[in-house]
Amino acid sequence: MGKFNSVDNSNLYQEVAGAMPGEYAMPAYFNTRLYYGGRVAPLRSFAFSKALLGASPTSSSSVSFAYPGTTPGVSANGTKNAIVWAIRNAGTHGVLHAFDAYDLGVEFYNSDAVPGGRDTFQDNKFVTPTIANGKVFVGTPNTVAVFGLFNLPGSSPRVPQRHPRAAMKHH
């Protein structure tokens, strides 16, 4: 933050050499962990301890992310049920992945694995999944792909709970 010197690195607070190859994206932070998806590398989780970032990843995905890497997003219920969402450039299309935030080796969802191509979308490099109201939004070159739970035939529709104040009329 303003103290970098390319000749003498003595002003750096911490340098983690070689841990994060090909930086074209941004990391995400959740519950003392930094999630980073470098170019042509797996998504990796690094833990913070005593204000320093661990030099080795605590976990990584089995999936590698082609150019430009991935900028992940995190959804959670407090510190529970945390999911790291990441978009992979597959050449002809984009792929949305969902990983267990505490063990990136566990993949919950992969849009390519859905039969019939139902969940495919046009890739838009440098895109970040945006999570809001139980859905994941992915910007494409000319649309927004929306991922979320939906009602299966024969199931009861989910009715969102409204806050008591939401029913009040404003004059």
Q: Where are the domains of the chain?
A: 23-149
What does the pLDDT look like over 72-109, one tens digit per residue? 999 999 999 999 999 998 888 999 999 999 999 999 99
23-149, which class in CATH?
mainly beta
What does the pLDDT look like over 21-45, one tens digit per residue? 677 788 899 999 999 998 889 999 9
Give the pLDDT of residue 111: 93
pLDDT band at 117 (very low <50, low <70, confident <90, very high): confident
Task: Spell out the residues 6+ positions from residue 109 whose beta carbon is closer than 8 angstroms to its own.
Answer: 96, 97, 98
pTM, entire model = 0.80
Flag whether pLDDT at 148 surpasses 70. yes
Bridge partners (DSSP) of residue 94 are 89, 121
Nearest to 19 by CA among 44, 48, 51: 44
